[in-house]
Amino acid sequence: MSGKIKIALVGNPNSGKSTVFNALTGLRQKVANFPGVTVEKRTGYSNLKTDNGEILEAEIIDLPGTYSLYPKSPEEILPFQILCDPNNESHPDLTIVVADGTNLKRNLFLCSQILDLKIPVILVINMMDIVIYKKMSIDFEGLSARLGIPVIPMDGRSGKGLKELKKAIVQPLVSPVKDFIDVREFAPEVVDELRSIVKVDSNYNAFLGANNLHIISGFEMQQWKKDKITFICEKYKFDPQQMQARETLERYKVITLILKDHLKSLESPLQKSNSYKIDSFLTHRVWGYLIFMVVLFLIFQVIFSWASYPMDLIDSGFVTLSQFVRTSLPAGLLNDLIVDGILAGLNGIVVFVPQITLLFFFVAILEDTGYMARVSFIMDRVMKKFGMNGKSLIPLMSSVACAVPAIMSTRTIQNRKERLITIMVTPLMSCSARLPVYTLLIALVIPKGSIFGFNMQGLVMMILYLLGFVAALVAALAMKYIIKKKERSFFVMELPMYRVPRWSSIGIHLLEKVKIFLFDAGKVIVAISIILWVLSSFGPSGTFDSIEKKYQEQSSSGQIQQSEVPRLIQTEKLEASYAGKLGHFIEPAIAPLGFDWKIGIALITSFAAREVFVGTMSTIYSVGGDESAKLTIKEKMAAEVNPKTGGPRYTFAVGLSLMLFYAFAMQCMSTVAVVYRETKRIRYPLIQILYMSGLAYLASLIVYQLLKP
Amino acid sequence: MTETVRPLSSMRKGQKGVIDSFTDYELSLKLLEMGCIPGEIIEVIRIAPLGDPIAISVSGYMLGLRKAEASTVRVRMQE
């Protein structure tokens, strides 16, 4: 056997599926991603050696975790589609089912469903370390014989079992022969007719199709077949709910019988487990909330203080590089483009890698340890009051990293109204793209030093994040009364055992996120930086020439000092450039917020993505003069003078107003796109842009008008 | 000792019972596939600080659900 094979990786949530995926593919992963960032369907590659030395190229698809083939939340639709639709481009030749060995009963349920689809299956029993720790013993050979498929014990964490899994993959594919349960019994006419008329490939697939009519309408299937399936179901009065209940009960009955023979476990009461003891603290009615607040607080303090060292290093590195290029390349347009356009833009991205890495790192740890599920558990009651769900907290919290994957993770929320509200308010949470903006502005207008022993700048940062959270809650409350949708609200959620984070998985996850940030977001930022450089370096024909002429005349006639000329020319050129004209155009609208035309330019470019702000600022202030290459962007902005007052441009009032604007405004094309895709209605992203930007304008207006000198 | 059948939502922390039946068809499907099968022993492990949701142990793991959902599960108890 040689050539290629397509493998799907499926399993319950928390079964350690990603660990197995990472162990199989290493870093050879491709994330099917969306503009911006996200993970929906991950694909990885692995070259396996067959027994006779040939190479088998395996394409491995990591599917979202699911409990069954009856999708109950939007997230669970993908595994159903890929496994049940043979025409789907990702339909696998082989399925690896990853099961949590400590909870075989529930995990085998999904496995038994896939068996009945007659797709070749390998069962991986994961988390063997805990199985052994809990003194459970599983008879793998017996289980394998009983199910008719290879069963491989594995400890994804240490990689034990990986060799055996690879060996099993390269064996010839065998489709399961005997039915796990005979679903034909439940609805013989429907199953028979679907198989003979529509040519469905297995009894169970026919049965599942009849049960999920609303989903198979999305399959790659001729319309007459879909109509026929609907027709047959109606003809025999197929009752999906009843059928599903009977099937589920039957499966569990068989599973219980099998486990009786092949699993020995001492009934150890949950109360004795470490997880239970930890929970007594983390879900305690006082400690639980307190600990949650402390965790958040520490994360922000750490991000702010730790990240500043590598950030300063990167900043000064770019200053050195800019100076080097400035002096070693001949002066001219190319030199300007590289230093003021490309390098300034690149600096604006690279400098945030430390903070974003730390942020994703902490979010990943919270999720991986199982703590996030507890937070959902203790907060559900509160979130319900705001029209959301305990599960909404996961998107809200991960939105602190990025709203795009956060909005996609709302798929775990079954109730449509709760999900919609969560989607609508999630972008109000301060994402990592705001971090650079906050960092810069805080450094500019908030004095260093400490209050009560805490870093003051870190404190302001935390207040900004809290503000985003409060705004999200208030907006949710408003929407709870506006959005009319009658549907039942669910909160049924597994509370997994606490686990030590899987560091290698987190490492791969971080690498992936940072790569996407650097390249996907980076492309946009560099492109915008270059466009901006062009817009701010050129103006309507003739204007630049006349400016130079004017100053030459003035200086030769002695009206102004010779040394001042280049700076004055640059300043006036920027104002006369296309970018300057654009900024001036919107200045009347933003002047009440304390912003000038230069900030106006940054606001316009930020509508593509917030982090562009910093890059824009560095580009604008770089174009402003020759001395600039020696200063960091913060120093340049601090030196900026407000011509009207004679004082600094960035006063406390302006800085605060700007921060609030960035906290609330919807300035992210990727989020707009993902909201549209998740809601499938153009009106939701539109409403979102309007209400968030309105909120931003109002907040900035009030703050600036109150605080301005 | 008498046997009573009552909704899961009325059970106190630490109480044990056996799942008897469901009163809500639609919801029962979700609970069934999560391993809440009639005949299965369940125990209320924890009640969230604000009284809702609750966490139960079932089929060897811990499941969180709201009181509203728990009220559709009928449990046989020895008292």
pLDDT tens profile A534-579? 887 888 877 778 887 887 787 777 777 766 677 677 777 778 888 8
Q: Does A266 touch chain B (CB under 8 A)?
A: no
Mean pLDDT of A450-475: 87
Chain B contact for A382 (CB, 8 A cutoff): yes
Instruction: Mark yes or no for CB contact A109/B33 under 8 Å.
Output: yes
Say whether B64 and A491 touch across the interface (CB within 8 A): yes
In order of A277, A494, A499, A521, B5, the CA distances from A274 in angstroms are 5, 17, 10, 42, 32
> Which CATH entry fits the domain spanning A3-169: 3.30.450.40, 1.10.8.60, 3.40.50.620, 3.40.50.300?
3.40.50.300
pLDDT of residue A336: 82
| Domain spans of chain A, in order of start | 3-169, 185-264, 287-482, 516-707
The widest CA-to-CA distance across chain A, in whole angstroms, is: 104
pLDDT digits (tens, 9 = 90+) for A198-219: 788 889 988 988 888 877 777 7
Give which of A147, A239, A255 is closest to A190, Cα–Cα: A239
- Set of chain A residues whose Cβ sits within 8 Å of the Cβ of B46: 279, 283
A58-97 pLDDT tens trace: 999 988 888 999 987 777 888 888 898 888 888 999 999 9
Nearest-Cα distance to chain A for B1, in Å, is 23
Whole-number mean pLDDT of chain A? 84
pLDDT at B44: 93
Q: A550 vs A541, A543, A547, A577, CA distance in Å?
A: 16, 11, 5, 16
pTM of the prediction? 0.80
What is the pLDDT at residue A37? Answer: 31
**H helix runs in A13-103, sequence order:** 17-25, 77-84
CB A532 within 8 A of CB A622: no
CB pairs under 8 A between A and B: 119
| Distance in angstroms (rounded) separating the CA atoms of residues A570 and A547 | 9
| B-chain residue closest to A279, CA distance | B46
| pLDDT score of A424 more than 70 | yes
Joined tokens for residue A526: 């560099």
Cβ–Cβ under 8 Å, residues A60 and A11? no
CATH number 3.30.70.600 is the correct assignment for the domain at B3-78: no
What are the sequence ranges of the domains in chain B? Answer: 3-78
How far is CA A371 from its chain centroid? 18
Q: Is A451 on the interface with B (CB under 8 A)?
A: no
Q: Cα dihedral angle (A331, A337, A338, A344), rounded to 10 degrees?
A: 120
Helices A203-211, A188-197: crossing angle, 10 deg rounding: 110
A38: pLDDT strictly greater than 50: no
Each residue's pLDDT tens digit, A224-250:
888 888 888 888 888 888 899 999 999
Say yes or no: A283 contacts chain B, CB-CB below 8 A. yes
Q: Does B55 contact chain A (CB < 8 Å)?
A: yes
State whether B63 and A105 contact (CB < 8 Å).
no
Q: Which residue of B has its CA nearest to A276?
A: B45
A103-153: per-residue pLDDT in tens? 899 999 999 999 999 999 999 999 898 888 888 899 999 999 999 999 999
Of residues A1 and A509, the one with the higher pLDDT is A509
Top-confidence residue, A485 or A52: A52
Separation CA A245–CA B32 (nearest Å): 8
